[in-house]
Amino acid sequence: GAGVSQTPSNKVTEKGKYVELRCDPISGHTALYWYRQSLGQGPEFLIYFQGTGAADDSGLPNDRFFAVRPEGSVSTLKIQRTERGDSAVYLCASSPLAGANSGANVLTFGAGSRLTVL
Amino acid sequence: AQSVTQLDSHVSVSEGTPVLLRCNYSSSYSPSLFWYVQHPNKGLQLLLKYTSAATLVKGINGFEAEFKKSETSFHLTKPSAHMSDAAEYFCVVSDTYNFNKFYFGSGTKLNVKP
């Protein structure tokens, strides 16, 4: 596609519910990233994929958070037993290469999915 | 560990006057550095990047930034602010050992007065 697409743009859920957030990256981009942006803060790294595999998931806050990218394109961020503290904007980004410091690892971001947990 | 400090959470300038948004980084080696801009209800957009080439980096919309290793700074400047520059700006540093991992500063909101 022309850009990174994220759905839903807004999600309101109740505490304890399960949520899935979807990211459709730019076609052909190898790397895909998830960030979380809480109110008044900068984006916080969660996980990134190189192809189908999670190359670094060290930013996932706990085991309630999980992400997949089964075919190396679309990714889904899954949050189980949501808590009020999970409320944030979840940002997805993609880049063409996940190699060394080539300068090609510029991220293109989607508009984000705003999650509100009541 | 890498970190980024944006020294001002809010900056207000008049249209036509210079813009200075300050950023200091912490990194063991020469990192890659970026500035991103976020307009309301829009995605983050790359303004410019530094990847160990020229220390003065020119970006889009008349913005530029200078990498100063001795000061561990990467301040963003623009000679003359435009109303459309009003947005939030993020300074970003790459991880020393994993160039695909990026750390964002807390952001600086730029207000441009007519």
Q: How many Å apart are CA B16 and CA B79, to the nearest integer?
A: 8
Kindly tell me if the per-residue pLDDT of A98 is higher than 70: no
- The answer to whether B43 contacts A112, with C-beta atoms less than 8 Å apart, is yes
Task: Name the band, by pLDDT with cuts 50, 70 and 90, for residue B78.
Answer: very high
Residues of B with CB below 8 A from A50's CB? 100
Which pLDDT does position A101 carry in this prediction? 53
pLDDT digits (tens, 9 = 90+) for A44-90: 999 999 889 888 899 999 999 999 999 999 999 999 999 999 999 99
Selected residues 2-61 of chain B with any CB under 8 Å from a CB in chain A: 4, 6, 32, 34, 36, 41-46, 49, 51-52
User: Which residue from A minimizes the CA distance to B43?
Assistant: A111
> Which burial class, exposed, middle or buried, applies to A98 when counting CB atoms under 10 A from its CB (0-12, 13-18, 19+)?
buried
Q: Quick one: which of A60, A8, A54, A4 has its CA closest to A29? A: A4
pLDDT at site B101: 81
A103 interaction partners in chain B (CB closer than 8 Å): 32, 49, 51
Domain limits at A84?
A: 18-95
Taking CA–CA distances from B47, the nearest residue in chain A reads A106
A12 domain-assigned: no
As a whole number, the mean pLDDT across chain A is: 91
pLDDT computed for residue A100 by the predictor: 53
Whether B105 and chain A come into contact, CB under 8 Å, resolves to yes
Given a cut of 90, whether residue A104 has pLDDT beyond it is no
Q: In this complex, do A41 and B45 lie within 8 Å of one another by their Cβ atoms? A: no
Q: What is the CATH number of the domain that holds A81?
A: 2.60.40.10
Q: How far is B96 from chain A (nearest CA, A)?
A: 10
pLDDT(A103) > 60: no
pLDDT of residue B1: 65
CB pairs below 8 Å between A and B: how many?
A: 66
A45 Cα to chain B: minimum distance (Å):
7
CA of B41 vs chain A CAs: smallest distance (Å): 7
Count how many domains chain A has. 1
Query: How large is the average pLDDT for residues B60-81?
Result: 95
Element (H, E) at B50: strand B44-50
A45 lies in some domain: yes
A30 has pLDDT over 80: yes
Higher pLDDT, B95 or A80: A80
Q: Is B28 exposed, middle or buried (0-12, 13-18, 19+ CB in 10 A)?
A: exposed
Q: If you write DSSP's letter for every residue of chain A in order, what string do you get? A: --S-EEE-SEEEE-TT--EEEEEE--TT--EEEEEEE-TTS--EEEEEEETTEEEE-TT--STTEEEE-TTSS-EEEEE-S--GGG-EEEEEEEES--SSSSS----EE---EEEEE-
Q: Which CATH architecture has domain B3-113?
A: Sandwich (2.60)
| A6 occurs within a structural domain | no
